[in-house]
C-alpha cells in the first residue's frame, strides 16, 4: 500500500531534474519535497522555486493555489509569494513519463512561485536557540493572521475568492475527530513519557472525541501554517510571508493559529491573540457560535479551540512522522509535546480542571 506522500509517476529526483531542465532550458536542481510536490530551483534563475505535483490528484490543488496567489497579490496583501506568469502552461505531452528516446518528461504541469523573504520558522526551531522572541513574533503573527482573515469580507476581492473557492458558507462545522485516530496511534511510541502521562494523553483524546463540532461562520484561512510554511525576518522577529497555499479556503480561524501555538506555546499564543483582536466574526450576516457570549467568553472559547486542534495535530504529526512523512521532525514534535504538557495543555481535559 502506497503512503500518502509518495509519487505516482515513478521518476527519481534526478529524472525530475532532467525533465524540467529539458522543458525550461535551465539547469534544475531538486532541493526539497513535501507531501504533495517536489521542489526544484535553478541557479540561473534564483528568483523562483518550481513545484511539481507528485500525483495526478494534486494538479487541481496547485491550479487553485495559482489562482489564489494571484488574487492575494491583487489585494495588495504582501504575505504571499508571487506566481510566475508561465506557470501551469503545458509544454508537450505529459505522458508517458519517458519519451521514446528514454528521456524523462515532467509528469505534470508545474507552478513557479517567488522565493520567500526571510527564513522559515522550521529552520529556527531546528537550531539550538529553538524559537524567536515569542512575544514579538506572536504579535507580528497575530496581526498577519488578522490581515489574512479580513480578506474574507474585503469588497475588492470577495467575488474573486467566491469564484475560486465557491461562495462563503453562512456556517460550517469544525472539529478534530478526523485527527484523533492517528493521534491515538502515536501514544505507544511515546516511551519517554511516564505511563501516567500517556494515560492523561489518552484521556484527553477521549475527551476530544466527545466534543461536539463547533458551528461557525468560516473565514478565508491558509489552513497549512506548519513551521516550514511560515517565514520571518530573523533579526526583527516578524512575519514576512506564508507559502504553500494549496489548502487555503473557507475554514475555522483557529486553524491558522494551532500549529504555531503548539510549537511555541502560551506566551506566543497570548501575544498573537492580543494582536489578532476581537474574535467576533467580521461578517455581520453570518451566524457565530458565540453570538450570545461576551467578547471575553468568545476569546476563551477561541483559545480552547486552538489548543485542542494544536494537541490533536501535534500527536497526529508524531504518528505520521514515525511513518516517514516528509518535513515532520518527530524530535521537535516530542519536545513541543513535553513543553505543552508543562504549560498545562492537558489540564483542559482534566475532570477537575487541574
Cα-flanking dihedrals φ and ψ of residue 23, to 5°?
-70, -40
Q: Looking at the structure, do residues 56 and 132 belong to the same domain, yes or no? A: no
For cell 503548539, the residue is 262
pLDDT of res. 45: 95
For the chain, state the CA radius of gyration. 21
Q: Looking at the structure, do residues 82 and 140 belong to the same domain, yes or no? A: no
Query: What does the alpha-carbon distance between residue 162 and residue 297 come to, in Å, rounded to a whole number?
Result: 31
Would 8 be classed as within a structural domain? no
Would 334 be classed as within a structural domain? yes
| Full domain range(s) for residue 131 | 119-349
Cα-flanking dihedrals φ and ψ of residue 166, to 5°?
95, 160
Which CATH number fits the domain that encloses residue 90?
A: 3.30.200.20
Would 128 be classed as within a structural domain? yes
Q: Looking at the structure, do residues 131 and 75 belong to the same domain, yes or no? A: no
Q: Looking at the structure, do residues 29 and 107 belong to the same domain, yes or no? A: yes
Q: Looking at the structure, do residues 215 and 201 belong to the same domain, yes or no? A: yes
Specify the number of domains making up the chain.
Answer: 2
Contact status, residue 192 vs residue 221, Cβ threshold 8 Å: no
Contacts of 216 (CB under 8 A, 6+ apart): 171, 172, 174, 252, 281, 287, 288, 289
| C-alpha cell at position 57 | 490528484
pLDDT of res. 66: 95
- Which mean pLDDT values do the consecutive 10-residue runs of the chain (354 residues) have? 87 94 94 95 97 94 95 94 87 52 84 95 76 89 96 88 92 87 96 95 94 86 96 94 96 95 95 87 44 76 92 96 89 93 84 36
* Three-state DSSP class for residue 291: coil
For cell 453562512, the residue is 170
What is the reported pTM?
0.89
Q: What is the pLDDT of residues 254-265, one digit of tens each?
A: 999 999 999 999
Q: What is the pLDDT of residues 260-291, one digit of tens each?
A: 999 999 999 999 999 999 765 534 344 444 45
Would 275 be classed as within a structural domain? yes
pLDDT of res. 289: 46
Which CATH number fits the domain that encloses residue 224?
A: 3.90.1200.10
Amino acid at each position: 500500500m502506497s503512503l500518502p506522500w509518495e509519487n505516482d509517476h515513478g521518476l527519481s529526483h534526478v529524472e525530475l531534474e532532467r525533465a524540467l531542465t529539458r522543458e525550461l532550458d535551465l539547469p534544475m536542481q531538486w532541493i526539497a519535497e513535501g507531501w504533495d510536490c517536489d521542489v526544484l530551483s535553478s541557479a540561473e534563475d534564483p528568483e523562483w522555486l518550481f513545484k511539481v505535483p507528485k500525483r495526478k490528484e494534486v494538479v487541481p490543488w496547485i491550479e487553485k493555489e495559482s489562482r489564489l496567489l494571484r488574487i492575494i497579490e491583487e489585494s495588495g496583501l504582501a504575505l504571499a509569494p508571487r506566481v510566475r506568469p508561465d506557470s501551469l502552461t503545458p509544454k508537450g505531452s505529459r505522458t508517458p513519463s519517458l519519451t521514446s528516446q528514454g528521456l524523462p518528461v515532467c509528469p505534470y504541469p508545474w507552478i513557479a512561485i517567488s522565493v520567500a523573504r526571510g527564513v522559515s520558522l522550521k529552520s529556527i526551531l531546528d537550531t539550538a536557540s529553538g524559537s524567536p522572541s515569542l512575544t514579538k513574533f506572536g504579535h507580528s503573527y497575530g496581526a498577519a493572521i488578522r490581515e489574512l482573515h479580513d480578506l474574507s469580507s474585503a469588497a475588492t476581492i470577495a467575488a474573486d475568492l467566491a469564484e475560486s473557492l465557491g461562495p462563503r458558507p453562512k456556517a460550517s462545522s469544525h472539529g478534530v475527530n478526523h485527527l484523533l485516530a492517528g493521534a491515538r496511534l502515536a501514544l505507544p511510541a511515546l516511551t519517554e513519557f511516564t505511563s501516567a502521562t500517556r494515560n492523561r494523553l489518552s484521556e484527553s483524546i477521549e475527551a476530544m472525541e466527545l466534543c461536539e463540532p463547533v458551528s461557525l461562520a468560516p473565514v478565508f484561512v491558509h489552513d497549512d501554517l506548519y513551521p516550514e510554511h511560515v517565514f520571518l525576518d530573523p533579526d526583527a522577529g516578524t512575519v514576512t510571508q506564508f507559502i504553500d497555499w494549496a489548502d487555503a479556503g473557507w475554514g475555522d480561524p483557529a486553524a491558522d493559529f494551532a500549529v504555531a501555538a503548539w510549537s511555541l506555546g502560551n506566551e506566543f499564543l497570548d501575544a498573537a491573540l492580543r494582536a489578532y483582536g476581537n474574535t467576533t466574526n467580521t461578517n455581520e450576516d453570518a451566524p457565530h457560535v458565540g453570538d450570545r457570549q461576551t467578547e471575553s467568553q468568545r476569546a476563551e472559547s477561541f483559545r480552547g479551540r486552538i489548543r485542542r486542534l494544536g494537541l490533536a495535530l501535534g500527536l497526529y504529526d508524531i504518528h505520521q512522522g514515525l511513518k516517514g512523512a516528509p518535513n515532520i521532525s518527530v524530535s521537535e514534535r516530542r519536545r513541543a509535546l513535553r513543553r505543552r504538557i508543562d504549560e498545562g495543555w492537558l489540564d483542559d481535559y482534566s475532570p477537575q480542571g487541574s
